[in-house]
Structure 1
Amino acid sequence: MPSRKKTSGRNRVLVGGAALAVVGAGVVGTVAANAADSTDAVPAAAPVAARGGELTQSTHLSVDAATKAARAALDAAEKDGRQVSVAVVDRNGNTVVTLRGDGAGPQSYESAERKAYTAVSWNAPTSELAKRLAQAPNLKDIPGTLFLAGGAPVTAKGAPVAGIGVAGAPSGDLDERYAQAGAAALGR
């Protein structure tokens, strides 16, 4: 029986890689040739303009206004010696700005966002919404919400445009007072 020479792992990799390159080039060439010969190509669709009656308009806080509200809420808490986080969400519940005060607990960041989301979703202070849980306990199961005092809605022309949430003070009443201070700053 003739002797076989052992091939190194490196040589096997190089030979295998070369074989894959040849096969890959053949596949790419075939696909490219078929694409070039295709006569039933679909032209790109032109943009379609929606009619005026199919559109709605909504009002949102600017980033500057959201920052002003968050800063006012944080300042009110700091004046009382409280370490809190403040979140401002837009009409759609998307976070616009979040400020975490020095020393605020790690849980306060997410809690503030959820309180703000809850306030704008129902256009009501979260302290009022927390009272509704007695009649509708399943409300607390809605994703992203938190039915604890500390969230305040912001409205324009009677419609919600933002929510401000504060978390981290020793009580929800304080959290909500600071959220209201943030909302009040927008009226000045």
Structure 2
Amino acid sequence: MKKTLSRRARIATGGAVLAAVAAGTFGTVAANASAPESGRDSAASAAPATAGQRDTTTSTHLTIDAATEAAQAALKAAKKEGQRVTVAVVDRNGNTILTMRGDGAGPQSYESAERKAFTAVSWNAPTSELEGRLESAPNLKDIPGTLFLGGGVPVTAGKAPIAGVGVAGAPSGTLDEKFARAGAEALNQ
């Protein structure tokens, strides 16, 4: 026995079939509209863009091993004098490569060491020298991430800053900077 669909069911079924056909057709047209016309354009658009030599620069960065060596030398110099410090090493862009908090170093020393290292590399000068600049330009201290206290030294390659070593936690910036210099000098050996 053959069952016949009501008029309403036939209209609903026909509408669904038309909608499916229309969606498939629209999808095909949309897909074709975004496809390139020839294979040549497709190959050109798939090739990676390359910059010319005049459009790029090369920079020098410390390795993690070198940063570790500098930090360990600074910690060793501080320990020799009975000081508990934290050492931070940042790259040319001021990004932290590593931070080593020595045994017993105060909680404030972590951030201070990073900020001193950042300040030293940003200005390519020891932070003790930069302290003096605050007299003529007091707004320098408002630059985010900086700390104009002794304890940060830049690391250079070909006179260009490539890293900063910051030390914090000793009773004076003079001592902090002495230990930071010991870290930076360990890289020249």
Counterparts of 1:167 and 1:145 in 2: how far apart (Å)?
13
For 2:122, the aligned partner's letter is S
More helix by share: 2
CA deviation string 1:34-89 (max 9, x = no partner): 65541222676542000000111111111100100000001111111111000000
Larger Rg: 2
2:163 paired residue number: 162
2 CA distance for matches of 1:40 and 1:86? Answer: 59
Distance in 2, Cα, partners of 1:101 & 1:36 = 66
Taking structure 2 as the reference length, what is the TM-score of the superposition? 0.79
Alignment map for 1:44-83 (pairs within 5 Å): 46-83=47-84
The alignment yields a C-alpha RMSD, in angstroms, of 1.7
Query: TM-score normalised to the size of structure 1?
Result: 0.79
Q: Deviations over 1:97-132 (max 9, x none)?
A: 110001111110010000000000000000000110
Q: Which residue of 2 aligns with 1:176?
A: 177
What is the distance in 2 between the residues matched to 1:180 and 1:40?
64
* Bigger shift: residues 40-49 or 68-77: 40-49
Tell me which stretches of 4 or more aligned residues in structure 1 moved more than 2 Å: 32-37, 39-46
Count of aligned residue pairs for this structure pair: 158
User: What are the equivalent positions in structure 2 for 1:57-136 lying under 5 Å apart?
Assistant: 57-136=58-137
CA distance in 2, matches of 1:138, 1:40: 57
- Report the Cα distance in structure 2 between the residues aligned to 1:124 and 1:45, rounded to whole angstroms: 46
Write the distance in 2 (CA, Å) between the matches of 1:151 and 1:36: 63
> Which aligned pairs between 1:12-51 and structure 2 lie closer than 5 A?
35=27, 37-38=29-30, 39-41=32-34, 46-51=47-52
Change (3 A) 1:36 1:102: farther
- The one-letter amino acid of 1:126's match is T
5+ residue gaps, structure 1, are: 1-28
1: CA distance between counterparts of 2:46 and 2:146? 40
How high is the sequence identity, in percent, across the aligned residues? 67
